[in-house]
Structure 1
Amino acid sequence: MSNLQLSLIALGVVLILLVLLFNWWQEQRIQNKMRSKFPEPEQDPLLSAEPIQTHPGALREEPAFDLSNQDPSNEDPTFKSDVTLASIRQEHDEQTVDEVCEGVIDLHFAAAVPGASLLAQIQSYRQAGTKAIRFFAETADGFHRARLHPNESYISLQMAVVLANRQGALNEIEWSQALVMADKLAHVFDASTESPDADALLKRAQALDELCANLDTQVGLTLKLAGTQPVAAIIDIARRMSFVEYGNDFAWCNEDGVPRFLLLLGNEPGQGVRSAGVDQVGLLLDVPRSPADEHAFGRMLAVAKELATALRAQLVDDAGRLVTDGAEVAIDSKLVELYDELDKQGIPAGSSRALLVFS
């Protein structure tokens, strides 16, 4: 090998060393700049017992599910929770199924069902034909519920179908509709069902309907106005005479807030009238649905006379005849007999049972 070749090799090695040295110097320079901008912590965070904070005062929170604020409409109705939710009240609800006037379908769930899921599913199951359906349930920890809550879970459900009302007795079609609803719930929530014999149940419904038809009585008074009067003005006068809003009606109530009789505007419930003016006002005593009172008609007549004076109206009875003095005595006597008969038949006037069958 010549001297020239050796010299070139030596020069190449020197150049490589210079490049490596230059790169090391550049790397050290950059690291020094980084340290000046981002100083290293005194302790390794992975070994520290103190929590890491991303900014002063910030604490990490793990995500959680808030069942109490969950919207039942967004809940998957087929969902079943592995967690049993405790009852919100450690006592039973007082209201129960009325075996006298309701047919009951029992559902027993294979696993506890969240109330939110159950409520979302039964919203459209409140009526079978013209017959109302009520729901009762048992919580996972054994408490009876007349009102379901979204933040409880339930192991059984009762569908209570009223046997008769003012639309007639429960019929085969309506009972079949209720059974279909129960089957759908059983499919969604994996439940077994129990229901009474259909023929026997429908016979009970027919008997109850016949009984109630013989006891159903309403007594009315009519105030004929001198021409069409504004509804708003009539309601204002009625309010001043102690009529109050009660559901879709205006009612004159007893000391417990239970309606004694109702106000009708042009034959419509007080809050259901659509016209701006009416030419007559009615008072209606719905005997089975009002609390028993030996002066029931007399009280309504006294209010009617006062209202007639305020509205400058003519007071007549159901048949359109002028109401004579002393008529209330005979009518109240008849109503007392009716109240007694309702009690004897196990349907006291104004009771929850009477409200069901005379709806």
Structure 2
Amino acid sequence: MSTLQISLAVIGAVLLALIVAYNAWTNHKNAPRRAERSDAPRQEPAFDGVAPLPDLADAQGHPPPEERDGDFAATVPDESALTFPPSSHSADRRHALDALIDAIAPLSLDHPVSGEAALAALPPTRRAGSKPFAIEGQNEASGQWEMPAPGQRYRAFQAGVQLANRTGALNEIEFSEFVAKTQTFADAVGAAPDFPDMLHEVARARELDQFASDHDAQLAFVLRARQAAWSPGYVHQNAARVGFVGGTLAGRMVLPATGEGGGAVLSLSFDTQAALSDNPEQSAMRELLLSLDVAQVHRSEQPFARLREVAAQLCESMDALLCDQNGSPLPAMAMDPIAGDLELLYDKLDGRDLSAGSPQARRVFS
């Protein structure tokens, strides 16, 4: 072999090595960031209270439940299926009937009824159409209204159906279903119901629904990777460092309230398929959705201030950019007017006795 051929072979080998090294460097650079082994993410206790939310909006109109919350929506879960510890911001009886937001029918009795008999007479479902339906009994011993329980006796009952929620206002068909279910229960326990006027209650429902629609603020912001993508483990690790815990749904974390069991303050959502991947550390994500359901969180939690703080911390630790849902970067000054608008919204909710984070607000804005 000539000297020229040897030289060309050496040069070719060097070039090949450089190409391989460059490709390896490029693959490493573009690989999703992974969680550090020294601080591997743990499966935290489930603590979920709200569904993924849409962009900043004051909802108007009533599209179907699966569409009402926009492109990032998931069907809002039945609140009765969620478990919340007692909240420092809410009454002990979270689902107690309330004349402010429920149509209520008293059921009088000639003699006390046992809790066992009441439970046996309850309808199989706790909804009238899309509205929550409930029956309470007045405990003979304590005089308190409560959900029927075994071993207790009740001297009166009352049935109620919620006037409005995010699916819209109570309508005539739903009111008729409420009447039918209540009458069936009354017949079973020997009670005499006194139903409110349907047209009056439907009118109340529409007025409440209009107010709720005009004051239903749900905020969402996008955290977008500047350079390298993120793995689910990397997201969990960085989110846990600022206080997030795992939610009940894959691809979802929540920031708990600082008060005693005050529910979730913020929600952090990402690609469900990446979270459920067989090899999640190889899954690459470039966007996260950080959201706040305003009416669900008490104002004393300062949820918007915490959102801004969390967003800033995550942007710094994950090399991310805060954007609106159209992908436009949001400077810090763009957030200040939102804070002012939220204070006005809180005042209006307080004035209607639907204070953010209260049991009544959580029911209406769900």
Kept after mapping to 2: 8 A contact 1:266/1:279: no
1:222, 1:282 within 8 Å by CA — same for their partners in 2? yes
Provide closer, same or farther for how the CA distance between residues 124 and 238 of structure 1 changes in structure 2, counting only shifts above 3 A. farther
Q: Percentage identity across aligned positions? A: 29
Name the residue aligned to 2:209.
209
| Equivalent pair of 1:134/1:161 in contact (CA under 8 Å) | yes
Q: Is this contact kept in 2: 1:224–1:280, CA < 8 A?
A: yes
8 Å CA contact 1:212, 1:357 repeated in 2: yes
Which structure would you say has the larger RCO, counting Cα contacts within 8 Å and 6 or more residues apart?
2
Q: Does the Cα contact within 8 Å between 2:220 and 2:325 map onto a contact in 1?
A: yes
Mark the CA change 1:146 to 1:243 in structure 2 (over 3 Å): closer, same or farther. Answer: farther
**What is aligned with 2:287?**
280
Given the two structures, how large is their TM-score scaled by the length of structure 2? 0.63
In structure 2, the residue corresponding to 1:183 is in which secondary structure? Answer: helix
Q: Which residue of 2 aligns with 1:241?
A: 242
Residues 1:280 and 1:133: Cα distance change in structure 2 (over 3 Å)? farther
Cα distance between partner residues in 1 of 2:114 and 2:276? 42
Aligned pairs for 1:19-98 (under 5 A) are: 96-98=96-98
Q: For the residues of structure 1 that align with 2:137 and 2:365, how far apart are their CA atoms?
A: 25
- Quote the residue 2:255 is aligned against: 252
Count of residues paired in the alignment = 263
* Bigger Rg, which one: 1
Query: How does 1:137-286 map onto structure 2 within 5 Å?
Result: 137-225=137-225, 229-231=230-232, 233-244=234-245, 250-256=253-259, 257-259=261-263, 261-266=265-270, 279-286=286-293
User: Contact 1:116/1:149 (CA < 8 Å) preserved in 2?
Assistant: yes
What's the secondary structure of 2:347's corresponding residue?
helix
Compared with structure 1, are the counterparts of its residues 105 and 267 closer, same or farther at alpha carbon in structure 2 (3 Å cutoff)? farther
Q: 1:119 to 1:235 in 2, by over 3 A?
A: farther
Structure 1 residue aligned with 2:351 = 344
- Distance in 2, Cα, partners of 1:121 & 1:310: 56
- The separation in 2 between residues aligned to 1:120 and 1:314, in whole angstroms, is 56
**1:254 CA drift (Å):** 3.5
Shift in Å, 1:175: 1.0
Counterpart in the other structure of 1:327:
334
Q: Tell me which moved more, 246-255 or 125-134.
A: 246-255
SS in 2 for 1:326: helix
- 1:299 alignment partner in structure 2: 306
Query: Given that residues 260 and 285 in structure 1 are in contact (C-alpha distance below 8 angstroms), is that contact kept between their aligned partners in structure 2?
Result: no
Letter in 2 for 1:340: D
The 1-side partners of 2:118 and 2:319 are apart by 54
Shift in alpha-carbon separation, 1:343–1:310, aligned structure 2, 3 A: same
- Paired AA for residue 238 in structure 2: I
Classify 1:341/1:294 alpha carbon distance in 2 versus 1 (closer, same or farther; 3 Å): farther
What does the per-residue CA deviation read over 1:270-294, in whole Å, with 9 as the maximum and x for residues that have no partner? xxx8666655321211112211259
Structure 2: unaligned runs, 5 residues or longer:
1-91
| Partner deviation per Cα, 1:50-99 (whole Å, 9 max, x = no partner) | xxxxxxxxxxxxxxxxxxxxxxxxxxxxxxxxxxxxxxxxxxx7675311
Q: Kindly tell me: are residues 274 and 179 of structure 1, through their superposed partners in 2, closer, same or farther at Cα, counting changes over 3 Å?
A: farther
| Structure (1 or 2) with the greater strand fraction | 1
Shift of 1:338: 1.1
Instruction: Evaluate the alpha carbon distance shift between residue 102 and residue 205 of structure 1 in structure 2; reply closer, same or farther with a 3 A threshold.
Output: same
Question: 1:113 is paired with a residue of what secondary structure?
Answer: strand
Shift of 1:231: 3.9
Distance apart, 1:228 and its partner CA:
6.9
TM-score, normalising length: structure 1? 0.64
Task: Return 5+ residue gaps in structure 1 as ranges.
Answer: 1-92
Tell me how far apart the structure 1 counterparts of residues 104 and 271 of structure 2 sit (CA, whole Å).
Answer: 36
Aligned to 2:70: none
Change beyond 3 A, Cα 1:261–1:320: farther
**Which piece of structure 1 moves more, 159-168 or 290-299?**
290-299
Is this contact kept in 1: 2:322–2:329, CA < 8 A?
yes
Using the TM superposition, give the Cα deviation of residue 129 of structure 1 relative to its aligned residue in structure 2, in angstroms: 1.2
Q: Show CA shifts across 1:95-153 (max 9, x none).
A: 75311111012223444333234234436231111111233211233521334322212
For 1:166 and 1:125, how far apart are their aligned partners in 2?
A: 19
